[in-house]
């Protein structure tokens, strides 16, 4: 078991530094190209940190465990909103960009509704996967087009004048180096997540934790650690646009890209889908929306509420699985 614990520790380290490198490279490129940090968070960072979910879901479905794939995405979206935004707001109150409120949250709500409707017959077949994938392609294209129409001042976001000037005057070599940081960051996130999930699953099974909880809680949490590490890194640097863009963008990518691509390869059929977990995913979104609308920011108190909700959900879900309580 010592080997498994060492891999878990290595996974945490790789996730932390991978997130640092990813935020560094993405931030520099956003300023150099005049693309807002928010859009970078919604696209480049969101896709990079959703890569572990994609790999886990593809492997789970290929191995005949589609419930594990569904559980990973449902649990990951709960984690992204309640845990990631909660922790980020606790570290430093997050100012919510108006684009998140007016555009991204409604898009996430629509993607969630489509996903739930597809699951009425307890499956997402290949043509539905293509529909979801077409949705993410349209979303990314529209995000990039909208970014080009933003005024320069708005695109500077959370960065100082010195950082803006340095990035905009950087050489081609420095631009390549920024891309290199992104590649290194994504690779570190990929392997860190794999080590954590694979070896964490072995440890969990050894302690008698069921497959359902492994998929819904462990895999969901493990594959969301890149988002959590990125959120903590961005919060420490005061880059609130990347935090919200990463969390909301990752949820959109999970539903449209991850489920879409996984179903395109092989239809997903749920045998034991939990409508309670779907209800929690919808409920968390219903809670976060008015928080964002009220004052255009998430306070430390609201961050604490979100974190408490996540911890309560995971505790109750674990107790239900172990038969300690019933509903």
Give me the CATH number covering residue 23: 1.20.1420.30
Average pLDDT over residues 164-184: 76
The more confidently predicted of residues 114 and 19 is 114
Residue 223 lies in a domain: yes
User: What pLDDT sits at residue 161?
Assistant: 55
User: What pLDDT sits at residue 156?
Assistant: 44
Q: State which residues form the domain around 25.
A: 2-321
pTM beyond cutoff 0.75: yes
Average pLDDT over residues 224-247: 76
- Please name every residue paired with 297 in a beta bridge, in sequence order, or none if there are none: 95
Instruction: Report yes or no: 150 and 37 within 8 Å, Cβ to Cβ.
Output: no
HSE-CB at 291 with a 13 A cutoff on CA atoms is 26
Largest CA distance in the chain: 61
Q: Could you give the number of structural domains in the chain?
A: 1
- Tens digits of residue pLDDT in 26-46: 777 777 777 766 677 677 777
Q: How many angstroms separate the Cα of 42 from the Cα of each of 32, 38, 97, 247, 312?
A: 17, 6, 12, 8, 28
The more confidently predicted of residues 115 and 100 is 115
Residue 5 pLDDT class (50, 70, 90 cuts): confident
Residue 326 lies in a domain: no
Residue 75 lies in a domain: yes
pLDDT higher than threshold 80 for residue 133:
yes
Average pLDDT over residues 66-90: 89
User: What pLDDT sits at residue 4?
Assistant: 86
Task: Name the helix (H) or strand (E) containing 124.
Answer: strand 123-124
User: What pLDDT sits at residue 38?
Assistant: 67
* Cα–Cα distance for residue pair 161/279, rounded to 1 Å: 44
Residue 160 pLDDT class (50, 70, 90 cuts): low
Residue 139 lies in a domain: yes
User: What pLDDT sits at residue 185?
Assistant: 86
User: What pLDDT sits at residue 245?
Assistant: 77
The more confidently predicted of residues 129 and 194 is 129
- Please name every residue paired with 123 in a beta bridge, in sequence order, or none if there are none: 269
Q: Which of 7, 98, 84 is nearest to 50 (CA)?
A: 84
Alpha helices (H) along the chain? 2-33, 37-40, 46-62, 66-78, 85-91, 98-99, 105-118, 126-148, 152-155, 161-168, 172-206, 211-213, 220-236, 240-253, 259-265, 275-295, 300-321
Residue 327 lies in a domain: no
Average pLDDT over residues 160-180: 70
What is the DSSP code (8-state) at residue 97? P
Phi and psi, residue 111, nearest 5°: -65, -40
Average pLDDT over residues 197-217: 72
Residue 259 pLDDT class (50, 70, 90 cuts): very high
User: What pLDDT sits at residue 152?
Assistant: 45
Instruction: Report yes or no: 61 and 265 within 8 Å, Cβ to Cβ.
Output: yes
Give the relative orientation of helices 2-33 and 46-62 as an angle to the nearest 10 degrees: 140
pLDDT higher than threshold 60 for residue 177:
yes
Q: Which of 108-117, 199-208, 316-325 has the lowest mean pLDDT?
A: 199-208
Q: Which of 110-124, 158-172, 220-234 has the lowest mean pLDDT?
A: 158-172
């Amino acid at each position: 078991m010592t080997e498994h614990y060492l891999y878990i520790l290595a996974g945490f380290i790789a996730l932390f530094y991978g997130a640092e490198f990813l935020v560094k490279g993405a931030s520099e490129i956003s300023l150099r190209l005049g693309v807002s940090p928010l859009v970078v968070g919604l696209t480049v960072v969101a896709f990079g940190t959703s890569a572990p979910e994609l790999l886990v879901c593809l492997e789970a479905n290929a191995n005949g465990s589609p419930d594990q794939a569904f559980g990973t995405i449902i649990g990951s979206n709960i984690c992204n909103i309640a845990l990631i935004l909660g922790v980020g707001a606790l570290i430093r109150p997050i100012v919510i960009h108006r684009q998140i409120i007016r555009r991204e949250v409604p898009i996430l709500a629509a993607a969630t509704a489509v996903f739930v409707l597809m699951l009425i017959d307890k499956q997402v077949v290949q043509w539905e996967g293509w529909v979801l994938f077409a949705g993410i392609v349209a979303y990314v294209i529209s995000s990039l087009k909208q970014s080009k129409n933003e005024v320069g001042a708005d695109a500077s976001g959370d960065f100082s004048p010195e950082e803006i000037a340095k990035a905009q005057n950087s050489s081609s070599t420095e631009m390549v180096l920024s891309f290199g940081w992104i590649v290194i960051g994504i690779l570190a996130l990929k392997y860190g997540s794999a080590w954590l999930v694979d070896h964490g699953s072995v440890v969990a099974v050894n302690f008698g934790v069921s497959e359902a909880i492994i998929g819904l809680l462990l895999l969901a949490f493990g594959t969301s650690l890149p988002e959590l590490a990125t959120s903590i890194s961005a919060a420490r640097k005061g880059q609130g646009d990347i935090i919200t863009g990463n969390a909301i963008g990752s949820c959109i990518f999970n539903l449209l890209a991850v489920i879409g691509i996984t179903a395109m390869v092989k239809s997903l059929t749920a045998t034991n889908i939990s409508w309670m977990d779907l209800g929690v995913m919808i409920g968390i979104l219903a809670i976060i929306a008015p928080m964002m609308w009220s004052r255009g920011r998430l306070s430390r108190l609201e961050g604490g509420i979100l974190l408490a909700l996540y911890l309560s959900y995971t505790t109750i879900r674990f107790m239900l699985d172990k038969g300690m309580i019933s509903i």
